[in-house]
Chains A and B, each alone.
Chain A
């Protein structure tokens, strides 16, 4: 046995001994007043600036929200919006005006927002077939898609409630008579496009049943390119949610007025849901939300207050 070996053996022995005798070297921190005050101060000093930065990011985002679900129903039909929306013979187009209050730098994200819509309902979430989305009609076991599984014995592709209830309002944007170019590509996650929705899977017998749910798909385009569907099929976490519709790739100036021509097809009236159209720029933190910033500042401030209170108490009551 060579010397280093023996040395290593000895160290191992000692470590084992210390282990069995429960006397391993250990760090034993005690919450001394010094540490407590330092930690509180440190947290305060970290979180207040972070909160301010976060708030700034949030404030830098320009967001225009327009609720259109009521306005886009003719006055005469507003008593019974449900029969209005369900009546296919009535044209559903509608125009909205949005005024830009602050300069918006491209890309400007277009979202539609739905409220009181339970995309996270268990029945709804489960009602899809990932394998069918990827492999198409070759995949037969689509029982999870009930009740939107078969149509006259023909499998529906894509099956399930989620696809069936696809959002189908559409928007065009006009600024000063010129149509704004809306890029509707790249609105879905890349992983979804590449790995979850088949490139050779085409819609089949979709929305052919007695009850038409939401939007239709282009039968000739493979699912992996139907990004509206892909976005829609990432179910939302909360009953109030936005989904990306597209991006305007031009800057919008202050006081620009944008005319939105939309097709108000989607039925949220049955369950009293709202529909909103949102234009928003994004910062490094995403969209406009002051919560993070406020929370950071509050936590930071309360840490500072605690530090002060603790210091005072500590000085007043000597041990």
Chain B
């Protein structure tokens, strides 16, 4: 027992991140008080005391509704919409005599519309329910008493249950770790679902329970845990374990959170303390902010506008009605005696004409309700869901390697994708793969590795080699890749026969190389995982860089294969080229932190020598070298600069031998520092570490490439051509960011760079002196000054049309985002062609996003892949998550997830453009068709003394929106294409239509509304003039109300459907079916309805068969009205397309002329650009050709 105890202490010495012993100091005194009242009876959840507490069960519900609440709740949701509420009021009023139509006919469309929306809600909720069922029915082994563990469903877990979780299982609830398969009762946990971090976290149980390794040891286990109440804080926990009479403290170190995963540990035992809704992860889940697109916001305004029109029409109508009703009795004598004004109800009472007018106002509100498109919202929702299905289905956005299609997580924002003005992109994992590749290294002053990086390729181009050379380089690269039929080791792209394949002992300085590689294999925190079948080893590392190092060491002959808590074992080649097994006693790990910028391990080798192995950033490492350890410093520095220029991440490696005495002293201090429980613990540890990490001997430097993803430069180029601004917000350091900027053509030579940097020597000096406020003030002053200088440069560059690039570092950004500076900062940033913010924190990313969004009012799209991008994704108008390697956090908070950055091109230029076009034309058309219909009703009122009699049959009225005109609109919204996807990508400038919102400008909307009024006017007046009072057919019969109604309605159906056919330029069978089908459907309906019993069909009884169809004038009138109504629009669009074509129409011209493959012609159209592009390689090429032209002219 004593031995075991010692080992445990020993272990905690290794892991600096395990925070010492929890003690009863501080927060623990709060236990039992308010907020800390939870009592858990371990292993005895059924006991009397436990039943008093009545904690939540472990059932987790993510559904919005239950069976009981579905109807009330979802109905409430539906009627919160102003338009739906209005229709509800109309439906209620339809039962009163106020109603101009029968109640049933009025309610049916509302029921259909509300039913459809509720159906959609129900389906969505059912999906969530299924997911819930799946989660809640997962099984875990639970203690059933007598030391027997059996599978139990998650939802049946209760507070106090003991569970056994096995390797790679999720924790079913928040648990307190009691023991694990490891002697030391530690376990590794992956918290990707919680915070998106892929590295494993270490947890360790309290000493008192760590010996419970067997199932049977829980037979008589009894304990009481007292702890804090459920809360959302993931990183704090306070509790105590009462075992017998003793109390033991509990800390976050013992807490295992639901939804995290057990890794590298065979099993653990834990006791359930928080269940279901009480768990930290559920307490943490917040509703994602609901986003609405700009188009939809404007649509609301149009609906309100239509409401205003409706009210105005109703007021006009009711005033006239009031006047005419008052005149029905003149001095007690009836004028329109046939209306019996002497014996009337309040609705038509001439004596109380004012009241009658007010009531008539309500009637009119109901009658003209056809101005408001009842089915608009539900149609749009249906359309958007279908659009997102198309996005999800697009094979061009399907990433085969990872089997990941694009996924539109919300369908709300489809059309917003067509209006993006600024893209804010993360760098690592978004522009780059986030798979680090070991590509070069410098050992003992010699540089190894022939690989060519993307950046180098870009650099070669930058240095003025013409296009041909570039192609040659690319081809060369391709050949090279073909030549080496490598078994593609992930993270390793190193080619140099000098040290590969065990050749390194032949190099000069072979001892240094050996040390170098050994250091790579030892100095890390990775964990090896041996595949039992193949024997291959893979590594679980905190960061991809680290994995790259271990892999590189392995590939070069230093294979790390086992880590215990106290040792690291390798297979290594010795100098004579033999493979030997060596293991090193692991004594301490000095963790990496962003302030230290280095990490070290202290090991004892088999010869008993103590070694400190250290790797870190060049800025901190060179100053720590020993005087005699700088042999290769000059060359190494040179190489590092070279590597950085090539866009690589560099680290310097160095080591030191420590004598025993020094180590003992260090170890004491270090242990002490770690066991301190106070705020400056970190600092103390750092201080101690500082003392030992000195006098290092330089070995060399490594360079890993953060590879650009496939197609990123091309994609950025296309997006830039489309006029989208691209900002890069990265946490990386400035040099790396600039290099990547060059690699993806966001920066180019000849572009003036405005660098705002706070890392100036004066600032540093001030900071060192400790006066923080003064330092901050000075820093801010310098930022302001730099911004002002940048602006001057901007003003001068505007004159000679030079492109500027703005590069800001994180600290400057903090000051630049302060309230008084941010406006001028933004002004500068908008003026620049590309903007790169380095060293920015997640919060700063979000702040920048908000700044751009709110101040410029343009649509922003944020794209990122990591948990640090979540803020940005939620803040932006559209958040696009990359479902890459860094966990699902970004995807979970995104609106649309794609697998690769390059899919953004298609997502925006094709789907975005289409969706924008579809939705905006769909809304315009909706308003058109409802205005056209509504105004015919209004015009008729003029001839019916505004009494509220509808010209159409009740069912004609109510089915207009849901039946005869709805399907073509949906077809428009789902299938319409102005330009095929190929041409969308070929002419990226087309995207400007969305950014400038030309398809949904107020002018266009009003023009459509005007067209609607015009159509209504033509339809109505032509019909009443043609069917005036004379006979309308051979037999001499005259047209009554029902004949006129049916005729007018026929005209309306024809006109609105043909208007649709005229305004789209894309007909598949579906369009044909819906448009012409809508018209045919109307005739079928008219016949079917007319054939019903007169009690049902009322005025429509046989109206078509008997009266209309045999009459030549009916058909002639329909044709005439149709042509006349469409003539104005046709003439307008013919002239507009011919003489003032919009961009998409130009492309349609090209296509129909068959010139889309004629490069020159296309170029001419491209030249019609609204502004010239400033970034991307096309721009680079243009800039170059421009300058060479100028040079040529100069010569002449």
Contacts and interface: CB of A to CB of B under 8 A. Distances in A.
A178 interface: no
A308 interface: no
B1116 interface: yes
Contact of B977 (A22, A161, A240, A244): A22
A130 B977 contact: no
B125 to A, nearest CB: 26
A28 B1034 contact: no
Contacts of A310: 1134-1135, 1138
B945 A237 contact: no
Nearest to B1130: A39
Interface string B1118-1141: 001001100100110111011100
Q: Place the interface of chain B in its size category.
A: 35 or more
Nearest to A242: B1029
Nearest to A117: B338
B1123 A118 contact: no
A120 B944 contact: yes
Interface string B1055-1066: 000000000011
Contact of A285 (B1098, B1112, B1133): B1112
Given A113-B1029, A146-B345, A299-B1120, A271 B337 contact: yes
B1102 interface: yes
Contacts, number: 245
B1040 A234 contact: yes
B1024 interface: yes
A237 B951 contact: yes
B983 to A, nearest CB: 11
Interface in A223-237: 234-237
A264 interface: no
Nearest to B396: A21
Nearest to B97: A126
A191 B1152 contact: no
A49 interface: no
B1037 interface: yes
Interface in A95-146: 107, 109, 111, 113, 117-125, 130-131, 134, 146
A280 B1106 contact: no
A interface bracket (residues with beta carbon within 8 Å of B): 35 or more
A284 B395 contact: no
Interface string B339-361: 11011110110000000000000
Given A122-B948, A131-B1095, A195-B1094, A280 B1116 contact: no
Contacts of B1065: 28-30
Given A32-B1152, A134-B1094, A299-B1120, A237 B1037 contact: no
Interface stretch (B142-150, B328-336, B458-466, B757-765): B328-336
A299 B1028 contact: no
A202 interface: no
A282 B943 contact: no
Given A30-B1149, A122-B948, A130 B1098 contact: yes
Contacts of B1040: 234-237
Contacts of A63: 1030
B1120 A285 contact: no
Contact of B344 (A147, A214, A267): A147
Contacts of A191: 1094, 1101-1102, 1106
Interface stretch (B199-207, B675-683, B1067-1075): B1067-1075
Given A29-B1067, A235-B1041, A287 B335 contact: no
B1131 A26 contact: no
A178 B395 CA distance: 89
Contacts of B191: none
Given A122-B944, A123-B348, A189-B1106, A292 B1024 contact: no
A235 B1110 CA distance: 21
A295 B1102 CA distance: 29
B1036 interface: yes
B1041 A120 contact: yes
B395 A54 contact: no
B949 interface: yes
A285 to B, nearest CB: 5
A131 B1042 CA distance: 18
Contacts of B1098: 130
Interface in B1021-1040: 1022, 1024-1040
Nearest to B910: A22
Contacts of B1131: 306
B181 interface: no
A270 B951 contact: no
A60 interface: no
Contacts of B390: 20, 22
B1111 interface: yes
Interface string B901-916: 0000000000000100
Contact of B1138 (A107, A117, A120, A314): A314
A247 interface: yes
A278 to B, nearest CB: 9
Given A28-B1151, A122-B948, A292 B1137 contact: no
A238 B340 contact: no
A289 interface: yes
B1127 A303 contact: yes
A295 B1120 contact: yes
A296 interface: yes
Interface string B945-958: 10111010000000
Contact of B1030 (A161, A287, A299, A303): A287
Given A43-B1123, A147-B344, A271 B977 contact: no
A195 to B, nearest CB: 5
Contacts of A81: none
Contact of A289 (B344, B977, B1028): B1028
Contacts of B1101: 191, 195-196
B1034 A284 contact: yes
Nearest to B1036: A109
A282 B1034 contact: yes
Interface in A211-256: 211, 213-214, 234-244, 247
Interface centre among B980, B1022, B1031, B1127 (most CB of A within 10 A): B1031
A288 interface: yes
Interface in A16-53: 20-33, 36, 39, 43, 47, 50
Interface in B260-317: none
B940 to A, nearest CB: 8
B1038 A54 contact: no
A238 B1138 contact: no
Contact of B1032 (A47, A117, A119, A286): A286
B1026 A239 contact: no
A148 interface: yes
A4 B1127 CA distance: 48
A94 interface: no
Interface string B546-570: 0000000000000000000000000
A262 B1070 CA distance: 62
Contact of A280 (B342, B1030, B1066): B1030
A271 B336 contact: yes
Interface in B925-975: 943-945, 947-949, 951, 975
Contacts of A211: 340, 342
A302 B334 contact: no
Given A32-B1152, A130-B1094, A147-B340, 5 more contacts: A82-B333, A118-B944, A242-B1029, A286-B1032, A299-B1123
11 contacts: A36-B1138, A118-B945, A120-B949, A122-B100, A195-B1101, A211-B342, A238-B1029, A242-B1038, A280-B1036, A283-B1034, A313-B1139
A-B pairs, top 4 by smallest CB distance, nearest first, are A287-B1030, A109-B1036, A165-B338, A287-B1031
Interface of A: 20-33, 36, 39, 43, 47, 50, 54, 63, 82, 107, 109, 111, 113, 117-125, 130-131, 134, 146-148, 161, 164-165, 189-191, 195-196, 211, 213-214, 234-244, 247, 267, 270-272, 280, 282-289, 291-292, 295-296, 299, 302-303, 306, 310, 313-314, 317
